[in-house]
Chains A and B, each alone.
Chain A
Amino acid sequence: MAGDVRASLAPGELRGSHGPARHHLLTSLFGTPDLHRLAVYREHGGYQSLEKALREMTPEQIHAEVKASGLRGRGGAGFPTGTKWSFIPGDVPGPRYVVVNFDEAEPGTCKDRYLVEHSPHLLLEGACIAQYAIGSHQAWVYIRGEYDRPYRMLVEAIAELREAGILGPRPFGVDYPLDIQLYRGHGAYICGEETALLESLEGKRAQPRSRPPFPAVKGAWGRPTLLNNVETLANLPWIVRHGGAAYARFGVERSRGTRLLSVSGNVQRPGVYEVELGVSFRHVIMELAGGPPPGRRVKAFWPGGSSAPVLPESMLDVSTDLDELARVGSMGGSGGVIVMDDSHCMVKAARRLIRFYAHESCGKCTPCRVGTNWAERTFERILRGQGTAADLQILDHVQDALQNGRCLCGLGDSAGWVIMSTMRHFRDEYEAHALHRRCPVGECRIEIERVGAHA
């Protein structure tokens, strides 16, 4: 194993928010040399929040601060974190677990990797605070198998914590044992869904469970389990230090605090940006990420990973407020902002995403298994220049059949939303391909002509 894994993290990899700023609650120390080292992290105040929690606060007080903060889950669903914690039963004897969802695989999302590569201890401190808050002595970090370097960094960081006694029987001299273990995934998007993740952690094919029972009551190995996303937990040290009310002063309405947005695709400065919730996507895309390449226009953007319904350029002024996004028919999702410029074809983009959902469908429930593959074949037909009006009707039908609780988990809905939202805002492009065998952008021309030559 290489000695210092950080040695391979080049300065150019700090592509996004770092350094002090009023709204940098997570990223203010990013870029500090050797921040991944426990000693450096502690020099900058690291683990003081955990010490404060263990020595001065009761679990109930921590829970109250998290509720007061208004923090909502940063993984995708945006569920209020304090409420999720309250589902953990108080009176069940035996082990209970904190499980960290580091299976980041939503297309267009890279913020958890950015966070852990720049400050692994920020996550680990949050995971320790969460253990204490719910009466757990064991956290599991479920990390996707492709994340080699973040894995090695966490291995080293956990070894440092054991050596320092912060993981062990008496952290900071307090009789409250803490432990963190790592578990590597092996390539399956569905593991980001929390019950599929639990199945995977238990060594099974990762197919989502029927609920109830919910993981809070019957989670990993049948025990009460709190599942939170990496970024969600990384907010805990700040909230414990400054208080929930201070956190709630950032943001708007029911979207409090800041969040990390991964901005990718056709922008001049792709990167991971920490923003105060409520800023507009115009600010995120045009200012922070530098807008599209010279001479190009934004055509559309996915505001929260590929599962969040796409929005056209005319909606750039929509805010990052989760509830406003819901009102305009999309969602905040994973914070993965994918920007597409006017040189790209929406039907081709939708086909690529549908191929993804079809590939990643776990096969357990019929609407998703059949619907995603049916949709994929329909897209292939349209892009081969063999589409008809009937194919557009099929897509209309399939997108509906994938949605509204017909599937066991959100993957089916996500696939349905790709079709629904791209057809809603770019119906003319679908009609040009399916009815007139023409790609208005010119990106699919070759594919259609090739088939035409054989006709």
Chain B
Amino acid sequence: MALSKHAIEEIKGLPGRFPEVRSAVVPALDIAQEELGYLTPEAMSEVAGLLGIDPGYVEGVATFYTLFHLEPVGKHHFYVCTNLSCMLRGAEAICEHLRRRIGVSREREVSADGLFSYEEVECLGACEFAPMMRYAHAYHYELTPEKIDALVEAARAAETRKPSRAGDGSGRAEAEQPHGR
């Protein structure tokens, strides 16, 4: 699966923003991941080609940063903070509830319908609202089982309203528009 013309143009425009072209690698990979859902070896090579940088270098950068996915994730991917401030306020129980609710047995496993996955992440810097998580480019605060249920239900409802493209990762751009809280 190749990058869209729009993404290619965006990536080609990045190097001009920086003193050196390498600074464009992370923003370019970000554009690719937003479009494809995760970074395939082909996508990383394509980004490398567009920037005129060695593909091995680009992959080296991609593997360093945890926000880059090198394996498929669900169309709705939850980043749940489990570091100390959230752990002290029940993050483990939140994760357990979320796993049950989306039908996975461990983090980074994708639900059978391709819709959901989650990962346990380090401190997200919103400790005064613990336990919390990042989902759909927004923070969700003071999580309870009820709030988790509501988010998952809203995601399912949004998916049934539009033609199902679950599993192929396309449609991600729509799925990850910022949500209200």
**Which positions in A face B, CB cutoff 8 Å?**
2, 8, 10, 13, 15-16, 95, 104-110, 112-114, 144-149, 181, 183-189, 200-206, 220-221, 262-266, 270-272, 302, 306, 336, 338, 340-341, 344, 349, 352-353, 356, 359-360, 362
A108/B22 contact (C-beta < 8 A), A146-B79, A186-B68 known = no
Name the residue on B nearest A183 (C-beta).
B23
Name the residue on A nearest B29 (C-beta).
A186
B166 at the interface (CB under 8 A from A): no
In the assembly, what is the distance between CA of A183 and CA of B123, in Å? Answer: 20
Known: A265-B127, A338-B88. 12 other contacts (CB 8 A): A8-B180, A13-B129, A13-B141, A15-B129, A107-B127, A108-B85, A109-B123, A114-B128, A264-B127, A270-B127, A349-B84, A356-B123
Q: Which one of A205, A266, A302 lies within 8 Å of B64 (CB-CB)?
A: A205
A352/B128 contact (C-beta < 8 A), A105-B122, A108-B123, A148-B138 known = no
Contact between chains at B64 and A352 (CB < 8 Å): no
Count A-B pairs with CB separation below 8 Å: 152
- Interface hub of B18, B89, B121, B127 (most chain A Cβ within 10 A): B127
A186/B89 contact (C-beta < 8 A), A15-B129, A105-B122, A262-B127 known = no
Q: Which residues of A contact B130 (CB under 8 A)?
A: 264-265, 270
Q: Which one of A106, A107, A272 lies within 8 Å of B128 (CB-CB)?
A: A272
Q: How many residues of B contact A (CB 8 A)?
A: 46
A270/B128 contact (C-beta < 8 A), A148-B137, A202-B22 known = yes
Q: Which residues of B contact A144 (CB under 8 A)?
A: 125
Q: Which one of B27, B61, B141 lies within 8 Å of A205 (CB-CB)?
A: B61
B7 at the interface (CB under 8 A from A): no
7 sampled A-B residue pairs with Cβ under 8 A: A104-B125, A107-B127, A184-B26, A264-B128, A264-B130, A265-B89, A340-B84
In the assembly, what is the distance between CA of A271 and CA of B65, in Å? Answer: 29
Contact between chains at B22 and A360 (CB < 8 Å): no
Q: Which residues of A contact B66 (CB under 8 A)?
A: 186-188
The 7 A-B residue pairs with the shortest CB-CB distance in the complex, in nearest-first order: A203-B22, A264-B127, A187-B66, A187-B67, A186-B65, A264-B85, A107-B123
Q: Which residues of B contact A352 (CB under 8 A)?
A: 82-84, 87
In the assembly, what is the distance between CA of A337 and CA of B127, in Å? Answer: 10
Chain B stretch 62-103: residues in CB contact (< 8 A) with chain A: 64-68, 79, 82-85, 87-89
B8 at the interface (CB under 8 A from A): no
Contact between chains at B67 and A145 (CB < 8 Å): yes
B124 at the interface (CB under 8 A from A): yes
In the assembly, what is the distance between CA of A340 and CA of B86, in Å? Answer: 11
Contact between chains at A113 and B126 (CB < 8 Å): yes
Q: Which residues of A contact B141 (CB under 8 A)?
A: 13
A188/B64 contact (C-beta < 8 A), A107-B84, A108-B84 known = yes
In the assembly, what is the distance between CA of A13 and CA of B128, in Å? Answer: 9
In the assembly, what is the distance between CA of A265 and CA of B130, in Å? Answer: 8
In the assembly, what is the distance between CA of A356 and CA of B178, in Å? Answer: 28
A356/B128 contact (C-beta < 8 A), A105-B123, A107-B123 known = no
B24 at the interface (CB under 8 A from A): yes
Q: How far is the CB of A161 from chain B (nearest CB, A)?
A: 17
Chain B stretch 3-55: residues in CB contact (< 8 A) with chain A: 17-27, 29-30
In the assembly, what is the distance between CA of A108 and CA of B86, in Å? Answer: 9
Q: How far is the CB of B114 from chain A (nearest CB, A)?
A: 23
Q: How far is the CB of A109 from chain B (nearest CB, A)?
A: 6
B60 at the interface (CB under 8 A from A): yes
Q: How far is the CB of A416 from chain B (nearest CB, A)?
A: 17
Q: Which residues of B contact A349 (CB under 8 A)?
A: 84, 87-88
Q: Which residues of A contact B26 (CB under 8 A)?
A: 184, 186, 200, 203
Contact between chains at B83 and A203 (CB < 8 Å): no
Q: Which residues of B contact A266 (CB under 8 A)?
A: 88-89
B134 at the interface (CB under 8 A from A): yes
Q: Which residues of B contact A181 (CB under 8 A)?
A: 17
What is the 8 Å Cβ interface bit string for chain B, positions 130-159, against chain A (1 contact, 0 not)?
A: 100010011101000000000000000000
